Structure 1
Amino acid sequence: MFIFKLLVILTLGYWIMMLGDTLWARKLMRQLPASPKPGGSASTESFASAGLAQPRGTTAKELPLVSVIIAAKEEEASITETVKHLLNQTYPRFEIIAVNDRSQDGTGHKLEELRKWSQGKRQVEVPLTIIHVTTLPAGWLGKNHALYQGFLQARGQVILFTDADVLFQPHALADAVHYMKETEADHLTLTPKIVVNSFWLSAFVQYFFFALSLYIRPWRANIDSQHKHGMGVGAFNMITRQAYDRIGTHQAFAFRPDDDLQLGMRVKQAGLRQRLASGRTQLAVEWYKSLREAVQGLEKNIFSGFQYRVLPAAAGVIGQLLLFFFPFVAIFVLDGWVFWSYVLSIVLMLSVYSLLIQSLIGKIGKELLVFPATVCLLSYIVTRSVWLTLRQGGIHWRGTFYVLEQLKKMKR
């Protein structure tokens, strides 16, 4: 019985601490604001059509050129829609560089069709560059290499790294550039709206981002006084060219599957200014199409979040089960003050969950009812990811096998 008393004290203390931290963190969680409309004078007519707020007398040519870089591997189902959404942006100065990363499907053909289509439309004035990567050099993960190849062709003062399945609302670039300028940020990363098509996938996605947030606490990106913890989201990493060069470009983390997070971490460690905001009204992405696909996708790379170390991964699974799952079991087998302490822990836990999900995703639904099941599912995925990686001696990622010993050497 002593062990249960000790465990409930630790559990209750943890959730009290997390509630306090979350209430404080909500002040740092921001929604990307829409860029205000200009005054409409003759000197700002170009901005009226773009929906940008710039000082009177500023011309569109004085806006920074944004280079949007997309890495696409086996993305024939989504790449056309993504590029067409980007071509519809109201921001007047940007280019698109789409990199076909050794795709075996019709991705390259789709991109070439898009280039011909854009060249034949008078109203489409956005330069569209297509790069076909056919080989992968040693020491690189495919996506990182593709993004870097895109950067080598980029002309912009601002670089946006994004994925091939992200849908942009027309004012997304305008809002982001305005916010970067307003906050004097070197790096802006946005969390998109996650599109899900089933109850169980929605429940798991919500729990995954809840657990991830408690693990990495992404809101610390908005604290300028700390330079240890940063954040990056693959759907939207916008960074100035100067800052990207300063962190060593993708060459500095060429062999990291979590390249988006690594970019954000290195921005902070370099002492640069970073901003994290919710872009759910500007961006949307269907992360996975089904729960099965989510499980299969995460089990390939979630071990990288623990830097391929077994003990931290084991601690993560055990901690989840003891702090997140066991309280739901304890209320059926224990009594007295221990019972009521676990009841209070559950109330605090679900309060933290609700506050974080409202900030990250924007809504709370009946998915909350299956919270314990999603805890078990994520614990299973982490365990299986460790087992598969060790058994295979590496990971299969985007059609390429990477040896574990190489991954460990490049973990920092």
Structure 2
Amino acid sequence: MAEMEAVFALVAAALLLQLVFIVWNTRYYRPLGDRGKRALPAPGTAERKAEAEKDSLPNALNLSESRDFNRSNPENDIVLLSDISVLIPARNEERNLPRCLESLLAQRGRPREILVLDDRSDDDTADIARRFARLPDSRIRLLDGRELPEGWLGKSHACAQLAAEASGRWLLFLDADVALEPEALEAAAREASAQRSGLVSGFPRQETGTWMEKLVVPMMLFTILCHLPLRLVSRSRDPRFAAANGAFILIAADSYRRIGGHAAVRSSLLDDMELIRLAKRGGEPARLARIDALASSRMYRGAAEVWTGYRKNLFPGLGRSLPLLLAVSAAYAALYLLPAAGLLAGLAAWAASGQPPAWLPAAAAAWALGALVKLAVDVRGAVPAAYCLLLPASIALVLLIGADSARCHYRKRGYEWKGRRYA
């Protein structure tokens, strides 16, 4: 009994340290655009007129010439909405694309362009994009995706095609299942003005429907805020301190080309993570910003999509290292599953004997601290507070998906997503 009490006390101490780390870490999880010292010019002002004139430059002026011209301009550090190209790769997104495009048309100002690439969809994705493109002053243009070349993954190929067509000084890669609040692009412009170059990414507020979505989808942000020192994402050039979300990546066009763009990550299942690592290796500024008040997304719909979506990322995200997967699984089981099991066993023993076991308070404290750790993350991701009580179920599901992800790798079955299979 004394040994069990000591084990639970040790777990509780580790979780207390984890909670302290999260509280410190989230100080650096700041909202997108919070560093912008100068707001965008108001409608009707001379600067807005200058923006309109700049936006009407002849299309024949290529991007490199435009950037050279802007470098000689003392106001070049101010990024306007007309400097931003919004790029949306879309494959079988008829369910999500209308909401995404409606949110872009509801912005407080228009970006330079909104390019939608239909990545050889089997549904009405292209027709939906065409319908929106016909709206007055939509600035939406549909691109037809080319056949996937050997050695490329679908999303990277789609993003590379979009970037090749874009003319903005800044590129915002946006997933088709993301909807923006009306002030989102203004916040992006302020962020770009403050950062001047490099890459910024963020995690949209996750909308969930089924219980599998509610339990698993928020764990993406959980793992980052629990383990990655966000201060080092922006202050260290070490690529190990990196986090990005492909649903929302804002990157300077110059920086994108310097690091090789999506061509440099063409075969990676984790193109977003590899992109920010390339940026850091190349000395480009990088930041993970909080965007849950500016963007929302329903990544997956239903248990099957959650499972296959996370399965393709979990084991590759650990470098396809079985020892690392086993170590992480053991640590998560000890920290988050063991206290819950101890609490249930202790309560059952108490009910059966009328006497609580000596280790029950330590097990209860460890379980409560685990819930507080989850709550500390959830409030930063706009996740309902009650979900923190279900953390053991979330952990168990993530560990099972991780094991299945490794199984697919070692059986050489590859990973399937949106009708394509990847190694």
Specify the TM-score bucket, using the shorter chain as the normaliser.
Answer: 0.7 to 0.9
Counterpart selection for 1:349 from 370, 379, 392 = 370
- Change in Cα spacing, 1:309 to 1:38, as seen in structure 2 (3 Å) is same
Verify: 1:168 aligned to 2:180, yes or no. Answer: yes
- Aligned equivalents of 1:185, 1:2: Cα separation in 2: 57
Distance 2:345 2:287 in 1: 46
Task: Mark the CA change 1:24 to 1:386 in structure 2 (over 3 Å): closer, same or farther.
Answer: same
Q: Is the 8 A contact 1:101 1:132 kept in 2?
A: yes
Asked if 1:99 corresponds to 2:120, the answer is: no
2:244 aligned residue: 232
**Matching of residues 330-349 of structure 1 within 5 Å:** 330-333=342-345, 339-349=360-370
Q: Contact between 2:22 and 2:226, CA under 8 Å: does it hold in 1?
A: no
Cα contact 2:90–2:175 (8 A) shared by 1: yes
Distance 1:369 1:355, change over 3 A: closer
C-alpha separation in 2, matches of 1:363 and 1:219: 23
The residue aligned with 2:46 is 43
Quick one: which of 73, 94, 97 aligns to 1:76?
94
- Contact 2:33/2:189 (CA < 8 Å) preserved in 1? no
Report the Cα offset of residue 9 of structure 1: 6.1
SS in structure 1 of the partner of residue 334 of structure 2? helix
Q: Is the 8 A contact 1:185 1:275 kept in 2?
A: no
How far apart, CA to CA, are the structure 2 residues paired with 1:220 and 1:62?
25
Q: Give the length in aligned residue pairs.
A: 388
For 1:284 and 1:319, how far apart are their aligned partners in 2?
31
Structure 1 counterpart of 2:388, one-letter code: L
Which moved further from structure 2: 4-13 or 76-85? Answer: 4-13
Distance 2:46 2:375 in 1: 47
TM-score by length of 1: 0.83
Q: Which residue number in structure 2 is paired with residue 397 of structure 1?
A: 417
What's the offset of the Cα at 1:222?
3.6
The residue identity in structure 1 corresponding to 2:180 is: F
Residue segments in structure 2 that go unaligned for 5+ positions in a row: 53-73, 347-355
The 3 A distance-change label for structure 1 pair 338 and 269 is farther
CA offset digits 1:73-128 (Å, max 9, x no partner): 1112222332232233333441122111121222223223333x23xx2xx152x3
Q: CA deviation at 1:213?
A: 3.3
Match for 2:400: what amino acid? Y
Instruction: Confirm whether residue 195 of structure 1 aligns to residue 207 of structure 2.
Output: yes
Aligned to 1:387: 407
The 2-side partners of 1:182 and 1:399 are apart by 40
Aligned residue runs from structure 1 range 338-377, under 5 A: 339-359=360-380, 361-377=381-397
Measure, in 2, the Cα distance between the counterparts of 1:165 and 1:41: 33
For 1:11-410, what aligned pairs fall within 5 Å after superposition? 11-33=11-33, 36=39, 38=41, 42-44=45-47, 46=49, 63=80, 65-115=83-133, 117-118=134-135, 121=136, 124=137, 126=139, 128-184=140-196, 186-198=198-210, 201-218=213-230, 220-223=232-235, 228-333=240-345, 339-359=360-380, 361-403=381-423
2: distance between equivalents of 1:198 and 1:328?
23
- Equivalent residues of 2:28, 2:230 under 8 A apart: no
- Shift in alpha-carbon separation, 1:196–1:46, aligned structure 2, 3 A: farther
Sequence identity, in percent?
A: 23
CA RMSD in angstroms, aligned pairs only: 3.1
Shift of 1:155: 1.1
Describe the superposition over 1:343-367 as per-residue Cα deviations: whole angstroms up to 9, x where unpaired.
33323322222112112x1344322
Cα distance between partner residues in 2 of 1:47 and 1:365: 46
Letter in 1 for 2:390: V
- CA gap of 1:392–1:85, structure 2 versus 1, over 3 A, is same
Deviation at 1:4, TM superposition (A): 4.9
Retained in 1: the 8 A contact 2:118–2:126?
yes
CA deviation map 1:308-336 (0-9, x unaligned): 22222222222221221011112355787
CA-to-aligned-CA distance 1:128-155 (integer Å, 9 cap, x gap)? 3322224111111011011001111111
